[in-house]
Structure 1
Amino acid sequence: MTTACTVRDPNERNSAVPFDPYEQNNRAVHKFNLGVDKLFFRPASKGYSNFIPDPIEDSFNSFAANLSEPGDAANYLLQGDLKQAVISVGRFLMNTTIGFGGLADPASEFGIPVTETDFGATLAVWGVGEGAYVELPFFGPSTQRDSVGVFVDFFTNPLTFAPTRPIDNVGFYANALERLSARGRYSDTIDSILYESADSYAVARVIYLQNRRFELEGNSGDTYVDPYATSDTDPYEDPYADPYAE
């Protein structure tokens, strides 16, 4: 699969305006995602979190996280980070064996740090630019680079992609439960973004880009600036506040 990331004009790279040349299409996808969330995902997630006891929900989340460890290890190797790759393998082996297949997390109890990465991060290490902002159906906010990462991670993992026997897609179902758990547990915050913002698309966009850039670059990279903020914005103001709020 080959995908070329759209590249913005060099003179605009330091601009506070997000690189969103597909905004019209993105907003259409965002509207679709809101409909799916409102009709199906939101009520299902609340029912899941309210019905499933927290300890069992935590175990399911731990199981899903453990299934991602081999993919994390592979991506760390591709990134040239042998230490993190070894940690991911160690966590997977420990949690799979004495952690009852990953339903428990003894690795964390033994002080082995949690590792998490993806192919989008691998592309970033390789120097691939993030490209334009895009919103994916069902997945939500992303960039061209991260969109490639989503599909590579999914289709190259035998635990999440078994086209001949869908019942074997244990990783897919585990990830779905993990997403339900997150949506249910953080329902108030997510609802405030999606349903209480004057422009939920703009707010979701700025939050995603800020968080993703910080995740990949930390304090060393350029931080994303809300395009709706003014130059005299209070430096102590909440960066995730609705830019359209009165």
Structure 2
Amino acid sequence: MSNPTLRKRLIPLLFAAMMPAMLAACATKPPASEPEALSEYETNNDPLEPFNRAMYAVNNGIDTVILRPAALGYRYVVPQPVRTGVRNVLLNLGTPVIALNDALQGEGQRFGTTLGRFVLNSTIGVLGVFDVATGFGLPRHGEDFGQTLATWGVGEGPYLFLPIFGPSNPRDVVGLVTDTATNPMTWVLMGSDIPQSVPYIVLGVRIVDAREGVLDTLDDVKRSSLDPYATIRSAYRQQRNREISNPPGPPPNSRTGSGFNLPANTLQFR
């Protein structure tokens, strides 16, 4: 990396994303002499639960004060067709990452579909504003390096809850870092010729759009669940396993890849 400005911007970002994975490496499995603790560990895979619940509380505070009001304002002020266009552009920017991971998983047909989507939506679809590819029989699917690692047999590791990003695990943290580093848009937005404010503006738009996409889902969870943290943990794991299995049809939530986190994917375009 020869560009010092780019290095200055990118390295702290990647280091921050890697910190939870390094912390999680310190977790240990309860011994067989403690059957109840062992059973709970294996069921929840959450040995860092006190830390994770603290992070959930932090995240919930940030969400209550900043993210949810911003998402509500975005939904109220910006018309649905405009929000759809913004979302389509963000999704189109993430297509190279999806294509790369399709290739790494040996999914030739899905790779062709992704490549075709990118060409059609970037041209006829006016830089991705309109999703014309779906009308041509090329439906969108999500993919990321966390899923690639899973198909290669890498275990997920202990459950993590990250501020802003939400539920994750060490495998997906590594995936996030890799997807961010291999996404061409990362290098374009962080190039020396781009004003320093632009990456943060794009990031902010993506966060608000993603949060708006799960407004109703998270409101329902917080309103009806006795333990929202546990509900989100369970739902995230189920959803992530579904994504890894590559079922037919579009992603359950086309904005975030999972209805229970921002991110998984907030720093990058996926």
The alignment status of 1:141 with 2:173, answered yes or no, reads no
Unpaired segments ≥5 residues, structure 1: 220-246
Deviates more, 1:10-19 or 1:189-198: 10-19
8 Å contact 1:64–1:175 — kept in the other structure?
no
CA–CA distance in 1 between the matches of 2:126 and 2:80?
Answer: 18
1:20 to 46, 52, 55: 46
The alignment status of 1:74 with 2:135, answered yes or no, reads no
How far apart are residue 23 of structure 1 and its match? 0.8
Aligned length: 220
CA–CA distance in 2 between the matches of 1:138 and 1:29?
Answer: 9
Aligned position for 2:221: 193
How far apart are residue 158 of structure 1 and its match? 3.2
CA–CA distance in 2 between the matches of 1:150 and 1:17?
Answer: 25
Aligned position for 1:211: 239
The alignment status of 1:159 with 2:178, answered yes or no, reads no
How far apart are residue 181 of structure 1 and its match? 3.1
How far apart are residue 14 of structure 1 and its match? 11
Structure 1 residues 200 and 14: CA distance shift in structure 2, 3 A: closer
Secondary structure in 2 matching 1:94: helix
Structure 1 residues 39 and 185: CA distance shift in structure 2, 3 A: same
Secondary structure in 2 matching 1:92: helix
The alignment status of 1:52 with 2:81, answered yes or no, reads no
Aligned Cα root-mean-square deviation (Å)? 3.1
Q: TM-score, normalised on structure 1?
A: 0.77
Deviations along 1:185-214, whole A, 9 cap, x unmatched?
A: 542321232355332211111111111112
8 Å contact 2:104–2:148 — kept in the other structure?
yes
Q: TM-score, normalised on structure 2?
A: 0.71
Secondary structure in 1 matching 2:43: coil
8 Å contact 1:48–1:180 — kept in the other structure?
yes
Greater share of helix: 2
Deviates more, 1:72-81 or 1:181-190: 181-190
Query: Identity of paired residues, percent?
Result: 37
Aligned position for 1:62: 88
The alignment status of 1:95 with 2:127, answered yes or no, reads no
